[in-house]
C-alpha cells in the first residue's frame, strides 16, 4: 500500500544534509522533514545518556508530525541510540555507520584511517563494528573535534579548512593509511578539501549514497513508498537561530522551506 507520509531525517546540525540530498535524489516524489538539533550540537562532545535523550525526544516530535520512517543521519547518534529507537518505536530506523566494509575491501596497504568524533571512536558499537568487518586491516582512528565546528560555520574552502584538515589527516597518512573513512556526516561537506590534503592516491569514503539506497530498500520492503507522481516536499527545521540556519541551507542546499521547532 502506498504511503504519502513524510520521511523524517535528523542530525545534530547540518551534517545530515548530504544524506537528505541523496534521499531526495533516489526518491524524488517522497516528502522529507529534516530536523537540525542545532541548539544541542555538537553531539560528539555529549554523554551517551544525553544523546539518547535527544534522539528519543526528536523521534517523539517527528512521530507527532506523522513520519513513516526515520533516518538517523548522524554517526554518533546512530551508534549510541539506534538500537534503543528500534526497540521502542514501531517504524523503520535507518542509521549511519562508518564505511569500514568497503574500506577493508579496497585498501592496498592494509591500513584504514577513520576521521570521526571522539564519542563515535570510543563507543563499543564502533569497536564491535571494526572487529567484525575490518577483515584483518589495521584501523587507525583520529578524533576531529574542530571539523564539525568548521562545517557549522561554513568554513569549507581550502583556505579556511586545509590547515585544520591537514592536522587530522597527516597522522593517518604517516601510519600508512591509503583509505580514509569520513566517520561523521558533517565531514562530507569537507570531502573535497580532505581529498586534496590526502592526495589522489588515497580513497576517501563517505556513506550518504549507501544510506539513501538503504532508505529506498527499507521503504520498498515495508510497502511504505509514496505513489504520488509529483515532486515531494522538503521541510528543514531548526531549534536554534533561524537566520544562521537559513544561511547554511542557502549555501549547502539551495532554496527550501525552513521553520523552527
Q: What are the catalytic residues?
A: 74, 184
Contact 65, 8 (CB under 8 A): yes
DSSP 3-state of 221: helix
pLDDT at 11: 99
- Domains in the chain (CATH in brackets) are 7-96+208-260 (3.40.50.1860), 100-205 (3.40.50.1860)
**Residue 36 CB neighbour total at 10 angstroms:** 27
pTM: 0.96
Could you give the C-alpha distances from 193 to 19, 98, 155, 160, in angstroms and in order? 19, 19, 11, 10
* Phi then psi dihedrals of residue 128, to 5 deg: -65, -40
pLDDT at 1: 65
pLDDT at 50: 98
In the predicted model, residues of the chain with pLDDT beneath 50 are none
Amino acid at each position: 500500500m502506498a504511503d504519502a507520509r513524510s520521511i523524517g531525517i535528523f542530525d545534530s546540525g547540518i551534517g545530515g544534509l548530504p544524506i537528505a540530498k541523496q534521499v531526495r535524489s533516489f526518491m524524488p516524489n517522497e516528502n522529507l522533514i529534516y530536523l537540525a538539533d542545532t541548539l544541542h550540537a555538537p553531539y560528539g562532545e555529549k554523554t551517551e545518556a544525553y544523546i539518547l535523550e535527544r534522539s528519543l525526544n526528536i523521534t517523539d516530535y517527528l512521530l507527532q508530525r506523522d513520519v513513516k520512517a526515520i533516518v538517523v543521519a548522524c554517526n554518533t547518534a546512530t551508534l549510541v541510540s539506534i538500537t534503543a529507537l528500534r526497540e521502542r518505536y514501531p517504524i523503520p530506523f535507518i542509521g549511519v555507520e562508518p564505511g569500514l566494509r568497503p574500506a577493508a575491501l579496497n585498501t592496498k596497504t592494509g591500513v584504514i584511517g577513520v576521521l570521526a568524533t571522539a564519542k563515535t571512536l570510543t563507543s563499543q558499537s564502533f569497536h564491535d563494528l571494526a572487529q567484525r568487518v575490518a577483515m584483518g586491516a589495521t584501523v587507525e582512528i583520529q578524533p576531529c573535534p574542530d571539523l564539525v565546528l568548521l562545517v557549522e560555520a561554513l568554513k569549507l574552502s581550502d583556505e579556511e579548512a586545509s590547515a585544520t584538515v591537514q592536522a587530522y589527516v597527516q597522522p593517518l597518512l604517516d601510519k600508512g593509511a591509503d583509505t580514509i573513512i569520513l566517520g561523521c556526516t558533517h565531514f562530507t561537506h569537507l570531502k573535497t578539501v580532505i581529498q586534496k590534503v590526502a592526495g589522489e592516491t588515497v580513497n576517501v569514503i563517505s556513506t550518504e549514497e549507501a544510506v539513501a539506497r538503504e532508505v529506498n530498500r527499507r521503504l520498498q520492503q515495508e510497502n511504505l513508498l509514496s505513489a504520488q507522481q509529483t515532486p515531494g516536499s522538503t521541510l528543514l527545521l531548526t531549534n536554534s537561530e533561524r537566520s544562521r540556519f537559513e544561511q547554511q541551507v542557502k549555501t549547502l542546499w539551495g532554496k527550501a522551506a525552513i521553520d523552527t521547532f
